[in-house]
Amino acid sequence: MRDLRKKTEYRCDCGGYCGGWPCPMNPALLDKIEALRGVFGQPVIITSGVRCEARNAEVGGVAWSFHMRGCAADLYCPGVAVGELAGAAKDVGLNVLPYYAHGYIHVEI
């Protein structure tokens, strides 16, 4: 059976430190991101999902990063402003950290 907590878009994108899945994604996080997708009727692009320790260090993530537990994702929605996306993400129950300068938001639960 296909494990929905291991959707390819959330896979660790390191160059082979791990097998791609140091841990599965948190299903509650995925549900909320799907709800967010419904808000704009636009594609929501995941740029980072789960990260192994090595990958997290490589991208300069904090040592306690929720990415390492499958409880965080970075994403953007083409054509939707960061502030607007952040507001909608809060509305669906996510904790949000907007990166205005980089054009994406970090969400976690």
State the minimum distance, in angstroms, from the CB of residue 52 to Zn ion.
3
State the minimum distance, in angstroms, from the CB of residue 12 to Zn ion.
3
Return the H-helix or E-strand segment holding 57.
helix 53-58
| Residue 12 touching Zn ion (CB under 5 A) | yes
- Residue window 74-93: x/- pattern of binding to Zn ion, with contact defined by CB under 5 A: x-------------------
Alpha-carbon Rg for the chain in angstroms: 13
| Residue 49 touching Zn ion (CB under 5 A) | no
CA–CA dist 95, 27 (Å, integer): 15
Q: Exposed (0-12), middle (13-18) or buried (19+): which is 19, by Cβ within 10 Å?
A: exposed
Binding site for Zn ion (CB under 5 A): 12, 14, 17-18, 52, 55, 74, 106
